[in-house]
């Protein structure tokens, strides 16, 4: 696929899952070494804890120290996307908390994940515009889970403001906008949530499905830095899929030993 010359970066949505112990992380590896283990396999990671709790300089500073070459995408706090009752002080507080990542030059984007209930209307559109200007200094990636936003006028509006539309893969039964994938802004951003409608994030993509996703990624690539995050985090399935995806792209380092429990997932899927 000629992936080596392309700027396509693969990672997982988060890294700090206790259930990954003994699957991806060695059983006895202390928690504070998990990120150092993760960074051997991937060059990018999504930080999700910041959705529930404002990040602090001490936490983000320690992440940057542990993994100085890792790129971070930071999900903004739910106050900005779900509660939508933020103050200028909240913006300041959030920005201060991620300063170590920004100062190191390791921030991919701020990720704004809006709920399914957030549909397109004038009031919500104005809200996005306000949010955009409040975080104007940062690359912004926005994920919409309501199909009403999927139209050319809105895509053009995002592109004019350099806002990246997050392209997603998710169970069709949920009714989230899983296509068409489009490229807006200065980077491309893809989130893969799995295809299990009964238990979201608990799904292992088949090789055929990954090939199909790779074709879609290459189609929107447009010579922009492109970030693909696997959010099927249950049982570290995202790790198995993300490594396989890197192999398909031709960017996997063969010298890195893959845990047997990850390899077993591939074999199991082949025989299912």
Q: Which domains can be identified in the chain, with CATH numbers?
A: 3-271 (3.20.20.410)
109 vs 112: CA distance, rounded Å: 9
Q: Which residues of 54-89 are buried (b: 16+ CB within 10 A; e: fewer)?
A: bbeeebbbebbeebeebbbbbbbbbbbbeeeebeee
Three-state DSSP state, 215: helix
Phi/psi region, residue 175 (left: phi>0; alpha: psi -120 to 50; beta: rest), is left
111 vs 47: CA distance, rounded Å: 9
Mean pLDDT per 10-residue run, the chain (272 residues)?
76 97 97 97 97 98 97 98 98 98 98 98 98 98 97 97 98 94 98 96 96 97 97 98 96 93 84 57
Strand 188-192, strand 107-113: pairing: unpaired
Beta strands (DSSP E) in 129-173 are 140-143, 163-169
pTM, entire model: 0.96
Three-state DSSP state, 194: coil
């Amino acid at each position: 696929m000629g992936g080596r010359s392309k700027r396509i970066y693969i990672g997982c949505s988060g890294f700090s899952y206790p259930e990954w112990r003994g699957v991806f992380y060695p059983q006895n590896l202390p928690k504070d070494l998990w990120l150092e283990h993760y960074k051997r396999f991937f060059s990018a990671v999504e930080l999700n804890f910041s959705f529930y709790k404002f990040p602090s300089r001490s936490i983000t500073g320690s992440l940057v120290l542990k993994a100085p070459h890792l790129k971070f995408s930071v999900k903004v706090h739910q106050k900005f996307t779900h509660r939508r009752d933020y103050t200028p002080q909240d913006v300041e507080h959030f920005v201060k908390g991620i300063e170590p990542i920004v100062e190191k030059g390791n921030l991919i984007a701020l990720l704004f994940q809006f709920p399914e209930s957030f549909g397109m209307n004038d009031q919500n559109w104005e809200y996005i515009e306000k949010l955009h200007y409040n975080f104007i200094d940062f690359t912004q990636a926005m994920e919409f889970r309501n199909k009403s936003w999927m139209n050319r006028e809105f895509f053009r509006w995002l592109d004019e403001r350099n806002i990246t539309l997050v392209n997603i893969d998710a169970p069709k039964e949920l009714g989230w906008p899983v296509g068409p994938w489009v490229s807006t802004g200065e980077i491309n951003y893809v989130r893969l949530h799995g295809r299990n409608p009964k238990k979201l994030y608990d799904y292992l993509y088949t090789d055929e499905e990954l090939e199909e996703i790779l074709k879609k990624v290459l189609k929107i690539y447009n010579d922009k830095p492109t970030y693909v995050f696997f959010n099927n985090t249950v049982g570290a399935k995202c790790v198995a899929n993300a490594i396989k995806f890197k192999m398909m792209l031709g960017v996997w380092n063969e010298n890195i030993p893959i845990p047997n429990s990850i390899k077993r997932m591939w074999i199991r899927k082949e025989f299912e």
